[in-house]
Structure 1
Amino acid sequence: MGLLSLGTPLTWHEAKQHNNLVRSNGIEQLINIHRQSAARTHDKFYWGDEVEYMLVRFDAALSRATLSIDEDEILNVLHDAHPECVAHNISFHPEYGRYMLEATPARPYDGRALADYLYVEQNMAYRRSVSRAHLPRDVVPLTITAFPRMGLAGFTSPPHEPNGVASQSLFLPDEIINRHVRFPTLTANIRARRGSKVAINLPIFRDTRTDMRDALIPATPRGLFTHDSEPYQGAALPGHVYMDSMGFGMGCSCLQITVQAQDINEARYLYDSLANFAPVLLSATAASPIFKGYLVAQDVRWNVISGAVDDRTPYERGVAPLAEHKLFGGLDVDEARTDKHAPHARDGKDIQRIPKSRYDSISNYLSDEHTTGYYKPEYNDVAAPINAGVYAKLQANGFDAALANHFAHLFIRDPLVLFSERVSNSDNAVDNDHFENLQSTNWQTLRFKPPAPFVEGQTAADPETPGWRVEFRPMEIQVTDFENAAYSVIIPLFARAILKYKPNYYLPLSQVDANMVTAHGVNSVLEGKFYARKHTGLDVSDFAGFDLGWFDRKISQLQSHTAPVATEKDEYNLANGVAVATGDDSVVEVSVNDVINGTATQPGLVHMVTKIIASTYPDASVEQLEQLQAYLKLVSYRASGKLPTFAKYARDFVVAHPAYEADSRVSEQVNYDLCVRVAQVTAYEEVGLFGKELGAYLMKHRR
């Protein structure tokens, strides 16, 4: 969640009068950062990961698993100066829920050092063991994407009634929200700006005895808050699970990876290239088939979080408001400047149709025109309204069209949380708080992260401070450190392959959006078809032999001391590839398996990562190669269907459970047994999720 400000938060109606001030200062801060760091180069290839845990309390006597919301003081204990955190290079951070922990390495990993890739899993294990040691024995930090019975009576420990003023939810008590004032204020201000509660509707998975009505919606409005009537006015869709609070989305856990490029241009190319892998890796890591006690007809969390922070008014969404609700929600409309075709807010900003939530897939490429030159403006073919004033100001201050367009699109949003002490108390020459207020509340599949501004007295950036970075955000959290390390390691290695071999992965963004929809489907990893370029400029013959079998051959050679396996010459400059002309924009439909494991005409992610390993680490030991191969096997086998995603594993567990009544409902007993199974898998006491081959590897190396 980043740095949490201290001070007095403003309600939406207090804060909105300062919206333009924050946007204006934010752009000045961005311009200053760009002026200072646009020419910054030769930064090291650092990277890091973020893992989010849920604190689950187990009551064996009652066969109950609940979310523990009374252990959040652990964050006061495990601060960055705590001896165990310092000793193990780990750092803990708050998240939206009181039952949540975010943990990262305290210092980034060196993306050129083989030892760091192999250390990631151990670092994750330290995070889990250190936090576990400071929790009661009955509370376990689990890495699950969505708690299955969140929103049902008694799902928290201790239990609370859903009657809080911040969320006004029918299902979630405010006591699940982090105690820091930012979080309940964010929750309330999203609702106030939107003019209604958020409305998330997921299709119910139909089984033989399923009642396709959401039985958890009260039969009649409870009358506690004005917004209680919304599900009866059309906010709840028939045949869907209805969720009405930010907590259902921001209370999910995920796995995020940030990589640092050597300069801004390399970061832009990497951002654009990885954008088209976001839907594929969302599908490949699918881990959330259960919401609010229902099996749902999808496998991932993304649209849940998208809906959970959707602060757009009915006008901005292009829909009619609910009965007795306002078309412009909580916005103050300037009647003197407004007609039905051109509404204006009193803060001076145009009120526009906004096609997406502020948590969604990207809507603009950054352009690689300064590196490979593959980008074409027509690839940005989705509606992405901009703040015209911001765009003009950025263009006048050295931003090219594509970069100005990216930030001008982000700045169509309003700030959601303001602290009275910081509204006018900001020095744009050295601060970035107003910029980050908007930057960090645009939660897209990727985030383009500029460096921080120089502190007073500096004349150049400290090379050890963060540079131009790309955050890869779509992946679902996995239940073991082995899995999370595997998917974490894959991203920076694949990023290195992209920067070295210079593929062209550009697609029209409308097709990337279509791929995001596909990724939500049940078992989309096997059944989904995803758009991809037919020609990427890579010759598949250049990657021949760099499949999973390469590791076996290399290990055999090391063990028998025979002639070395031929590898590409090691090259230390990541930016040494040669862009290949790929004028053919034809698109084909492919499977996740095609993307990950390759086809006869396209090298897959596995081939590219294996070739990077082979060329960069010719002296890797048998043990090191076995570990890297195990990671790639997990990714490869999930893509091919040889191993199930956790979404399929959990769905099958529920359906096969003796207490399941074929009604798509997950009972207290089923939930408890599923959480027990997750805890067993986490500890490698149960390895059936990984099949015979990887199961044997884990029993040997992780027990």
Structure 2
Amino acid sequence: MGLLSLGTPLPWKEVEKYASHVREHGITQFLHIWNNTKDKKGNILLWGDEVEYMVVSYDDEKKNALLSLRQAQILHDLEENEIKQRKIEDAEGVEPNQRIPTFHPEYGRYMLEATPGYPYTASFDDLLNVERNMERRRTIAIANLLPNEFPVTLASYPRLGAPGQFTDPYYPPTGPASRSFFLPDELINPHARFPTLTANIRERRGSKVAINVPIFKDEKTPSPFIDPTIPVDRDLYPEDANAKDGAALADHIYMDSMGFGMGCCCLQITFQATDIDEARRLYDQLAPLSPIFLALTAASPAWRGYLSDQDCRWNVIAGSVDDRTEEERGLKPLQKNRFVIPKSRYDSIDCYISRGAEYREEYNDIELVKDDEIKKMLTDAGVDDALANHYAHLFIRDPIVVFSELVNQDDANSSDHFENIQSTNWQTMRFKPPPPGSGIGWRVEFRSMEIQITDFENAAFAIFIVLLTRVILSYKLNFYLPISKVDENMKVAHYRDAVLNEKFYFRKDVFAREESHSEEVPVEEEYRLMTMSEIINGKKGDGEEFPGLVPLVQSYLDRMSIDVDTRCRLNAYMELISKRASGELCTAASWMRGFIRGHEAYKFDSVVSAEINYDLVKMVEKLTKGEEWDGVGASLLGGLAGGR
């Protein structure tokens, strides 16, 4: 979560008046950054991760695990502790990688975000510090919680929006911002940005968001499944008619608020590249990996008190912030709006931005909706066509939140209007220019992964992605796929047990060529469907050999001068990912689904009761503390975490 602006947020009808102003000045601000930094070279690799937590409050007497809404008090206490610790660190000259972590607010009042106190470098010492740093963050958080509270790393909360009490304290559902059937507005971070974002998305869209996730059909699940908990007789707001008019689909779990998506937790990694060209290359090469790691980190099997027939959160978040009008969704002819827009503003990327020798125009194979005026501004200022297309596409969107005090800015020294559009295009990858006046370089953010239950798992995926970036640059790897195939992979990644049961499009030969491609080789021959194990662990024989991502990383490590202890610890992380891809270890989603279905109170009707949820969250806490790694958690961790 970026810096939260202070000021007076405007309602949508006022924001709409300033949309063109924000876009035009946002591009002007980008051009100032571009002109000042496009030729900057020599930045060192720095990187960091973002871990998001849900703070649960246990009611042990009633066997209920509730979401604690004490975020403001918790963050206040954490900030005071950080200020004191920083003074001590400054006085003692503490090394950067030992600095106290930093905590940040998030959308839900039960959420915390934590980042390292200082960016990591590419050193192996820093890689080995990641898990310890994540453990330290959780320990610090726990020290600032009540005795009955605990910070779990769950991607989605199984009973968020379910009937009965799911927050502490309790608030009845609905409120003027979300108008939800299921969630109270009190669940939203009270900072003016968040309820305004919620209300303005709804108002711009012209209706509440409508999210439908397929129900998992168990032995006693009604068929067709018609959710009896939807209050179809409610008549508080005009949007209440939506459920009656078909917004809620049969055989689906229906959700109607931004909180269901932005109330999820994830693991994100940001890299600083040596220069803009390297950043663009990493953006392109990591993009096809986004659905692969979404599937590998799948951790969201339950929604609103029901088991779903999918394992990931991504499409729920996409639906939760889908502010497109009926015209933009292609349901009505364009009259008031400018474009038909195929995707939500939270989705997978729509175009590549690098133009190295391995790039082919055929890879950008979906129609890119662009603002031609924005593109002309960019190209007239000397921005190349590829990057101009990227920003002309992002800037088809309207700003959602505008603060009245920030309408007029110094474009040479501010990036607020630019970030207003840039940071509300929540895509699988984000290309991040340097902030004005900073020493920060061009950065790339990898955004698709779901948060994992344990710090060991989160460290493993963070470290593996970092090592992959080193391999991509060292071996000049080429992961290009047509964007349409990346989109298909994103859909497949959501499927239940996709890691085991599905295949993904992936490039057959990942070693880039220095020379340009021969037009005689059709793009369709460059990729094929592969199992997850083939992609991660490789394949030999049958004329379809593939090296595998883990063996490629291991080959890279073989070239480094690494002591035995370091290599063993890194190998434990590699082994987790390898075994998850092969199916020897299960995903968090599969583990949770199995726990729920194996619970003595489960009635095989797809319902996740408060009692089941309580025991699940308690077990998640035990796994987090390392108390069940060799027992209940064996199928998830295989004892690997205990060996570090």
Are residues 1:123 and 2:124 paired?
A: no
Q: Aligned residue for 2:528?
A: 588
Q: How far is 1:148 from its partner?
A: 0.5
Q: How far is 1:441 from its partner?
A: 0.2
SS of alignment partner, residue 242 of structure 1: strand
The one-letter amino acid paired with 2:238 is T
Q: Aligned residue for 2:168?
A: 157
Alignment of 1:529-548 (within 5 A): 529-537=503-511
Alignment of 1:600-639 (within 5 A): 600=540, 601-616=545-560, 618=561, 620-639=562-581
Q: 2:477 aligns with which of 499, 503, 512?
A: 503
Instruction: Give the conservation status (yes or no) of the 8 Å contact 1:511–1:531.
Output: yes
Q: Aligned residue for 2:351?
A: 364
Are residues 1:520 and 2:500 paired?
A: no
Q: Aligned residue for 1:653?
A: 595
Q: Aligned residue for 2:270?
A: 258
Q: Aligned residue for 1:550?
A: none
Q: Aligned residue for 1:240?
A: 252
The one-letter amino acid paired with 2:59 is D
- In structure 2, the CA distance between the partners of 1:395 and 1:689, relative to structure 1 (3 Å rule), is farther
Q: How far is 1:79 from its partner?
A: 2.1
CA distance in 1, matches of 2:313, 2:201: 20
- In structure 2, the CA distance between the partners of 1:234 and 1:510, relative to structure 1 (3 Å rule), is same
TM-score, normalised with respect to structure 1: 0.86
For each residue in 1:496-524, what CA deviation from the matched residue of structure 2 results, as whole angstroms up to 9, or x when unmatched? Answer: 10011012211110011000011010000
Q: Aligned residue for 2:444?
A: 470
Instruction: Give the conservation status (yes or no) of the 8 Å contact 1:478–1:646.
Output: yes
CA distance in 1, matches of 2:367, 2:323: 18
Q: 1:288 aligns with which of 300, 312, 315?
A: 300
Instruction: Give the conservation status (yes or no) of the 8 Å contact 1:55–1:139.
Output: yes
Alignment of 1:51-450 (within 5 A): 51-79=51-79, 81-84=82-85, 88-111=99-122, 113-152=123-162, 153-211=164-222, 212-218=224-230, 220-319=232-331, 340=333, 343-344=335-336, 351-369=338-356, 373-424=357-408, 426-450=409-433
> Which contiguous aligned blocks of 4+ residues in structure 1 show a shift greater than 6 angstroms?
none
Task: List alignment gaps of at least 5 residues for structure 2.
Answer: 90-98
The one-letter amino acid paired with 2:595 is F
The one-letter amino acid paired with 1:615 is R
- In structure 2, the CA distance between the partners of 1:693 and 1:680, relative to structure 1 (3 Å rule), is closer
For each residue in 1:513-552, what CA deviation from the matched residue of structure 2 results, as whole angstroms up to 9, or x when unmatched? Answer: 00001101000011111111222237xxxxxxxxxxxxxx
For each residue in 1:553-592, what CA deviation from the matched residue of structure 2 results, as whole angstroms up to 9, or x when unmatched? Answer: xxxxxxxxxxxxxxxxxxxxxxxxx746665431210011
For each residue in 1:395-427, what CA deviation from the matched residue of structure 2 results, as whole angstroms up to 9, or x when unmatched? Answer: 111111110000000000000000000011x10
CA distance in 2, matches of 1:55, 1:678: 12
Q: How far is 1:697 from its partner?
A: 4.5
Instruction: Give the conservation status (yes or no) of the 8 Å contact 1:72–1:99.
Output: no
For each residue in 1:602-657, what CA deviation from the matched residue of structure 2 results, as whole angstroms up to 9, or x when unmatched? Answer: 221111211222222x1x33322221011001111100001000100000111111
- In structure 2, the CA distance between the partners of 1:605 and 1:438, relative to structure 1 (3 Å rule), is same
SS of alignment partner, residue 677 of structure 1: helix
The one-letter amino acid paired with 1:208 is E
The one-letter amino acid paired with 2:140 is V
- In structure 2, the CA distance between the partners of 1:501 and 1:11, relative to structure 1 (3 Å rule), is same
The one-letter amino acid paired with 2:201 is I
CA distance in 1, matches of 2:391, 2:51: 27
SS of alignment partner, residue 256 of structure 1: strand
Aligned residues: 621
Q: How far is 1:368 from its partner?
A: 2.9
Are residues 1:691 and 2:634 paired?
A: yes
For each residue in 1:115-138, what CA deviation from the matched residue of structure 2 results, as whole angstroms up to 9, or x when unmatched? Answer: 000001111111100010010010
Identity %: 50
Q: How far is 1:383 from its partner?
A: 2.4
SS of alignment partner, residue 398 of structure 2: coil
Q: How far is 1:72 from its partner?
A: 2.9
- In structure 2, the CA distance between the partners of 1:308 and 1:201, relative to structure 1 (3 Å rule), is same
CA distance in 1, matches of 2:483, 2:506: 11
Instruction: Give the conservation status (yes or no) of the 8 Å contact 2:341–2:369.
Output: yes
SS of alignment partner, residue 642 of structure 2: helix
Task: List alignment gaps of at least 5 residues for structure 1.
Answer: 320-326, 328-339, 346-350, 455-461, 539-577
SS of alignment partner, residue 242 of structure 2: helix
Instruction: Give the conservation status (yes or no) of the 8 Å contact 2:623–2:633.
Output: no
Q: 1:641 aligns with which of 579, 583, 592?
A: 583
Q: What is the Cα-based RMSD across aligned positions, in Å?
A: 1.7
